[in-house]
Structure 1
Amino acid sequence: KPWWQHFCKSQIVAIDCEFVHYRYLAKSEKVKAASVAIVDFNGEVLYRTTVKHDPGECQINRITISKNGITANILRNGHKSLDTVENEVADLLKDKLVIHIAGATDFKSLGLCIGDFENFDLHSHWQQPKINSNGILVHENIGLKRLIRKYFNDEDFQSGIHSAEADARATLRIFREVYIKIKQTEVCTKYNSDFDQFADFD
């Protein structure tokens, strides 16, 4: 059977975070989760919260607010501490297959290591081959917005403020309605070995 069928549907979830950047922390530690959402296989919310931070330590401006809607008040009045969210998310994701798109940053922003969880990055299947400015073939990740536009003809997705909940749902939808229809046989590997099929991806 296909690799993903080794998991029950009740074990398959998707996660997404919206971030805040700390001003004075080391570069590798600057990004912290400000809102978190986890949805089940059908896109129903299993976990959703905002994270408490000191807004005085964070970079907040018109540009960041227009992208993720995270204001000083939201940080100040976050529902839970980062430590609490880290522990709750780790418990919830135990024994789950976590679907994500470029989710290493999401996990790190929560103080978690992505390698500690069974996970699948949509980017391991969807990359677009391109020739860079140096004439070298590279593979560019195809973002969630482009995937939703391509497969579901949704031009409005992520057109305004991003939402962790909406992005988690969209991530799981791509996996549920597109990816698993491609990976239907036992010989289908978890990863894609032919990115050329996406050379003309819109």
Structure 2
Amino acid sequence: MFTGIIETPGEIKDIRAEGTNLHFTIQSAISKDLKIDQSVAHNGVCLTVVALNEDTHTVTAIQETLEKTNMQFLKKGSKVNLERCMQMNGRLDGHIVQGHVDQTAVCIKREELDGSWEYRFQYDASNGNVTVEKGSVCVNGISLTVVNSAADQFSVFIIPYTFEHTNLHEVEVGDTVNIEFDIIGKYVARLIQK
């Protein structure tokens, strides 16, 4: 379980294919503190550390993960948002995030405002996922508040700290991001369908 509060960005140093799997080697400030078999969110995708080096760690994304996330679009030099799992004895600064990406969305608007940025994302609503205004959503692993919710799109506003310390500053119109919808909202939507 995660909070959506990004600890540090990482940089993809190597990508190695093995069958339908991709092994990503990431350099980051937290890599040296990780352990084999530890769960770490990469752009909101919960992946298991399978190898370590001095300042890098390696994770594996299987075909299912690649098909449902933006991991398939990463290349050497790409930045990823990293978060280690939540400690149960600490504060929950973001919201409850499972690290299970529901689907991707496409950035359809990026506007610099006077001291903040507005991003608008569009997603395939046929999957039954929804957002609500002032509710939570996780974009590339970042816990954010929904603004201007619609049937298949929503906006978020980004403060300078988040813009500078995550990979959102690299997201442009047309780019694909990972979305994890609020877990409580998903359960409510499922109950209403029944």
Same fold (TM over 0.5): no
The structure carrying a bigger helix percent of its residues is 1
**TM-score (normalizing by structure 2):** 0.30
**TM-score (normalizing by structure 1):** 0.29
The structure carrying a bigger strand percent of its residues is 2
